[in-house]
Structure 1
């Protein structure tokens, strides 16, 4: 994977002081979550640059090798081993490059948030366990930590524990909620401040979730 991803960029006002890098799910693209911005925004928030990258197109093993946009290959149905580890690593590196680009544009790591839905969320949670950057927070929607064993063994950098907002559908047929609950528990045990929400929905996003996320983001902006 090349480390330069194409992106959809949405700046809420001139001279953004914060950035949110938001990774889509399998088979979607950077446009998928762009419409969420007006639903999320609140009038007194600072100017934010939302960056929605497109994952590269690659063949997906469990979909009979059909190519689609993906952050990594899905090689089996077993959650402990379904994510292609090399693909996850490549996506973490590509995400790292996106963070570097925001820092180069003048937004410090402490004001960069990482968000992801499903596969995208798996990448940001994986990144959080490998990085030494003091980022502002992680937004993990309908997702899980792909390799809990590696995560448990990961040497999480001293003092780098960004707060996490996790939300999941109780009726999710793609990633059962129990898997996400385990991931949340593991992150908590590693010292990440965790806010967990469950909604009576499938593998999707709902209005109540967006409102709760808005409250969580509001707290981050105020704390800064």
Structure 2
């Protein structure tokens, strides 16, 4: 059982699929979930789970304590030279994996589960998705990037080599620049992953209606109502 708490939108029809969606830095399940209210109505067979990251000090924010999946020691091109918080990331992977196990134990097969996230949460969705022994229906990366890119492919399993990955990024993003998402998608594609990368010319570091429409179509394709 996972040690993480979550906000849950239960399915309104017989529950045959689950989306686990991880929020960004400083946010919460309560903060991100309202953006998905309409999506949960459209996809009545899907249970939506929004886990809450634990509180921790964040180096780039002068050690301020806030909800985060891992510490951020630097921004921009310095991320790799300063070193990523691999220990924090892997601890969060264990928490999210606990939620996935709970869903599988309750009768939802892993190939009817989508793991996704926004910003820092989407880096977690890639880390969980690529390293899991479970085969998922899809992986969703909104305004995110590929974490631990010097070693993630050595950590990866074969389970999700053919799993559809939906990546989306706004051109006006100044928090996680568009190039982070674009280069991450190109790295995944060159390694053989099945990536759809969507560009939004008027989107900053947020989620908008056009992106949610595209996400809805992706979810209908990978976890259709049965």
Give the TM-score normalised by the residue count of structure 2.
0.91
Q: Residue 93 of structure 2 aligns to a residue in which SS?
A: helix
Of 57, 61, 64, the residue aligned with 1:63 is: 61
Pairwise CA distance, 1:93 = 1.1
Q: Which residue pairs with 1:79 in the alignment?
A: 79
1:22 aligns with 2:17: no
Alignment of 1:51 onto 2:49:
yes
Match of 1:212 in 2: 214
Paired residues, number: 222
Per-residue Cα deviation, 1:140-177 (whole angstroms, up to 9, x for no partner) = 00000121111243343266431111001101111111
CA root-mean-square deviation: 2.0
Relative to structure 1, is the Cα distance of residues 74 and 159 closer, same or farther in structure 2, using a 3 angstrom cutoff? closer
Select between 32-41 and 9-18 the one with higher mean Cα deviation: 32-41
Give the 3 Å change call, closer, same or farther, for CA 23–156 of structure 1 in structure 2: same
Partner residue in 2 for 1:7 = 6
1:182-193 matched pairs, under 5 angstroms: 182-193=183-194
CA distance in 2, matches of 1:14, 1:209: 25
SS in 2 for 1:91: helix
Structure 1: runs of 5 or more not aligned: none
2:96 matched to which residue of 1?
95
**Contact 1:74–1:82 (8 Å) recurs in 2:** no
Quick check: 1:132–1:160 contact (8 Å CA) kept in 2? no
Matches within 5 A, 1:120-199: 120-157=121-158, 160-199=161-200
Matched position secondary structure for 2:33: coil
User: Are the aligned partners of 1:122 and 1:145 in contact in 2 as well (CA < 8 Å)?
Assistant: yes
Tell me how far 1:82 sits from its aligned partner: 5.3
Structure 2 gaps of 5+ residues are none
Provide the C-alpha distance between the structure 1 equivalents of 2:170 and 2:160, rounded to a whole number of angstroms.
31
Deviation at 1:58, TM superposition (A): 0.5
Are residues 105 and 197 of structure 1, via their aligned partners in 2, closer, same or farther at CA, if it must alter by over 3 Å?
A: same
